[in-house]
Structure 1
Amino acid sequence: MSETRSETARETGPGGAGADRPRGSGLALAVIATAQLMVVLDATIVNVALPHMQKALGFSGSGLEWVVNAYALTFGGLLLLGGRAGDLLGRRKMFITGLLLFSAASLAGGFADSQGFLLAARAIQGVGAAITAPAALSLITTTFPEGPARNKAMGVYASMSVAGGAIGLLTGGLLTTYASWRWVLFVNAPIGLAVALAASRVLTETPRLRGRFDLPGAITGTVGIAALVYGLSSAATSPNGVSHWGDAKVVVSFVVSAVLLVAFVFTETRSPHALLPLPLIRNRNRSGAYLIFAGAGTAIFGMFFFLTLFLQTVWGYSALKTGFAYMPFTVAVLMASGTAAQLVPKVGPRPLLLVGSVVSTGGLFWMSRLTEHSSYAGGVLGPTMLAGVGIGLLFVPSSLTALSGVAESDSGVASSLLNTGQQVGGSMGLAVLGTVAWTVVANQFHAHADPIHAYATGFARGLLADSGVALLTLVVAIVAIRVKRSDLAGTPQAEPASHAEAA
């Protein structure tokens, strides 16, 4: 009996139902949400400034891609390690460390006078993001107990995670148009410093858990994921219709990734201090939630990519006008996420996941009907709002399901898995969806179609394939999700003792 009570106490920890709430929980949520917004926003804020960076620093077309890929590579590759670092070294400490590193790299990147300097700064930004993102999400689970408080906090977090991309496009357009491309990087420094200072005052440090870093797992997992992201980033068919899936560097990347990830799984089954405790993903509901989160992330990446290209290439929108075009989507996401947080205690996660999957699929399918003759009011406004509602309904219940009942000692790595799924899923999805879209564009050119019609057809076909990805989230929700409303009501679920506790 006493052993059971002590186990429950360890699982609930500072974030459990009986834990003391930190002073200023509203301020704590604001700090966490702002940090998450910065990390997500930075994946798109740079996109609209790429032509200006190319002109200023002399990037080639292929080299310019690495301004985006350098960030994605280190961010996606180091997330698991960043999550475990928070578990072992203290989540507030790692949250602040990641923010300061991210902000310093942003400041340095703004002063870049060469291609190598900028790419190095972007890579270091990704390292900072990989430390910050899992710490931010795990701090929600340890600051707010399961139930209404965590549901509300997760709604705010999910809103920032989804809407951040659209806000990044708008902010990037404003800064590039009225200041300079360098300000899309400079802007992070003062905000990051202010958030880091606030975090030291309003966030409560989590205990440093017993255990050691799983060095073999860290090496095989980090390099394996990084190789996968690199291969996927390099594989997508280019705008001229040339496929890179068979390129030597792509094939080698995939082979290296497969070997290392198999070795990672083998290592994790035998390590007493596993970087990724396998019981976390053996839970049916949790693994299903991770897949839904990854699918929703892919759908967002695809929508931003193809719709942005459509608006600018086919309709000739400026970067700033493109950013404003996404505002209805942002509003829809914010409203749907807040609604989902309110509905989860009443109906449970599964109905919301089912409805969100259907609605997001419908919105993306509607969007894929775009042609060069469509109008914004008739072809973009409705579909983006519908997609925003669907995606907003997905993120809150999938996050809550993935993190429900996780032992406090594993909340960092459990949080990092959500972010890893979104990053790797997004990279994988864009590689496949890009191949579909650019192949159609190339075929249209070979058929001597009008260039505008060729691009419009290809981008619409990419959006159609993207709606197929959203449809897969519905299949996963039907097959895998069985979590009940009572499971998220605040009573900790029984979980096997974590590896850190066993140590």
Structure 2
Amino acid sequence: MYGGYWIFLAEASLILAWTLVYAFAASPAIIVLSRAMQGVGVAALQPAAFSLIGTRYPPGKRRNLALGIYSAVAPLGFFAGIATSGLVVTYATWRAYFYAPAGICLLCMALVHVSTSDRNRGRREGGSDAALQMDWMGAVAMAAGLFSTMYALAAASHLQTGWRSAHFAVALALGVLSLLLAAFIEVLLAACPLLPPDFFRPRSLPAFYLAALFFYAIFGVFLFYSLLYMSRMIHASALEMVLWIVPFAAGGCILACVGALVFHALPLTYFVLFSGAAWVLAPLLFIIASPSAPY
């Protein structure tokens, strides 16, 4: 509706502000709040970035290359964050780590400002999208439902009675009811639903969404337990863990760039199958690994 330029700048500013709040936080509550607001900013930043790429490059080989480069930067950024944290933990205080992301946010905002020519591209008067409206009710209901559900699942492990706790039951019930309300709004009430029923009509999409859910679940668990394995089982130092994650950055960057060059020539199903097979094998290596084995 409003274009990716202003949304990108707004969310980058949000991340910048709350990263600085995180750096000066004096209580765990402020840290949790800062992390939550950073997540809000990142969640809105991603579609804004894709919008900028989509409006700059028409469908075809150039857009594939741009998306490939965008994807290749992700593992490099991940490694840069790990490397910075390892250096900061070793030679400085943990608060210093958050100064670097704040500076990177400013740099990204400046680069987007310089490289974006059509800054007001969004809803056009008289165009096919002139009647678009923001589905605020659906957005609030979906956000509340997802937040309450995830909170219930995360809090259950810290409650004395676990899954049988009334705290868990109430949070989960609120989450489920909010998601049901969101479905009702999207199907029957919203003039411009965020998730219209036609969006789920292609038979391949539900399977893809389920695969994406499992992928990010596996990815999060893998990152947590791999770092835990390195620190507690192998007793690696922070700088050693930084070096051990180098293949992650190199492999991700190379595969993203190679994929961008051949996306137009090969079915995307092959790349999805390759990625899925890799994520099946990666956790299995930790099952058979011995803490006494060399890196």
TM-score category of the 2 structures, normalised to the smaller one: 0.7 to 0.9
Partner of 1:299: 218
Instruction: After superposition, give the CA deviation of every residue in 1:122-143 in whole Å (9 maximum; x if it has no partner).
Output: 2322222222122112322222
Residue 362 (1) aligns with residue 281 (2): yes
| Mapped contact 2:75–2:248 kept (Cα < 8 A) | no
Q: TM-score, normalised by structure 1?
A: 0.53
Q: Secondary structure at 2:65's aligned position in 1?
A: helix
**Counterparts of residues 93-132 of structure 1 (less than 5 Å):** 93-132=6-45
1:22-58 deviations in whole A, cap 9, x for unaligned? xxxxxxxxxxxxxxxxxxxxxxxxxxxxxxxxxxxxx
Letter in 2 for 1:274: P
CA 1:338–1:186 in structure 2 vs 1: closer, same or farther (change >3 Å)? same
- In 2, are the aligned partners of 1:110 and 1:182 still within 8 Å (CA)? yes
User: Match for 1:304: what amino acid?
Assistant: L
Q: Is the 8 A contact 1:237 1:245 kept in 2?
A: no
2:165 paired with 1:247 = yes
Q: Trace 1:384-403 onto structure 2 (pairs within 5 A).
A: none
CA 1:116–1:192: 2 relative to 1, 3 Å: same
Higher deviation after alignment, 111-120 or 130-139 = 111-120
- Partner residue of 1:212 out of 121, 130, 133: 133
Conserved 8 A contact 1:167-1:323: no
Deviation at 1:236, TM superposition (A): 4.3
Q: 2: distance between equivalents of 1:336 and 1:349?
A: 14
CA distance in 2, matches of 1:114, 1:338: 42
Q: Distance in 2 between matches of 1:245 and 1:340?
A: 44
- Structure 1 residue 361, shift from structure 2 partner: 1.3
The alpha-carbon distance between structure 1 residues 159 and 180, as it changes in their structure 2 partners (threshold 3 A), is same
Q: 1:198 Cα deviation (Å)?
A: 2.1
Q: Which runs of structure 2 are paired with 1:66-215 in the superposition (5 Å)?
A: 88-162=1-75, 164-203=77-116, 204-205=118-119, 206-208=121-123, 209-210=129-130, 211-215=132-136
Give the Cα–Cα distance (whole angstroms) in 1 for the partners of residues 55 and 115 of structure 2.
14
Out of 221, 224, 233, which is 2:145 matched to?
224
Distance (whole Å) between structure 1 residues aligned to residue 158 and residue 293 of structure 2: 27
Question: In the alignment, does 2:243 pair up with 1:324?
Answer: yes
Query: SS of 1:358's equivalent?
Result: helix
Q: Is the 8 A contact 1:217 1:275 kept in 2?
A: yes
Distance 1:153 1:365, change over 3 A: same
Using the aligned pairs only, state the percent identity: 26
Q: How does 1:371-390 map to 2 (within 5 A)?
A: 371-376=290-295
C-alpha distance 129-360 of structure 1, shift in aligned 2 (>3 A): closer
- The 8 Å contact of residues 163 and 330 in structure 1, kept in 2 or not, is answered as yes
Question: How far apart, CA to CA, are the structure 2 residues paired with 1:114 and 1:355?
Answer: 44
| Distance in 2 separating the partners of 1:112 and 1:201 | 33
- The verdict on how the C-alpha distance between 1:353 and 1:115 changes in structure 2, with shifts beyond 3 A counting, is closer
Corresponding pairs, count: 286
Q: Name the CA distance, whole Å, in 2 between partners of 1:233 and 1:273.
A: 33
Whether the aligned pair in 1 keeps the contact of 2:22 and 2:98 (CA below 8 Å) is: yes
Question: Unaligned stretches of 5+ in structure 2?
Answer: 124-128
Long gaps (5+) in structure 1: 1-87, 377-503
Query: Aligned partner of 2:250: which letter?
Result: V
Q: How does 1:417-496 map to 2 (within 5 A)?
A: none
CA RMSD of aligned residues (A): 2.3
Q: 1:266 maps to what in 2?
A: 184
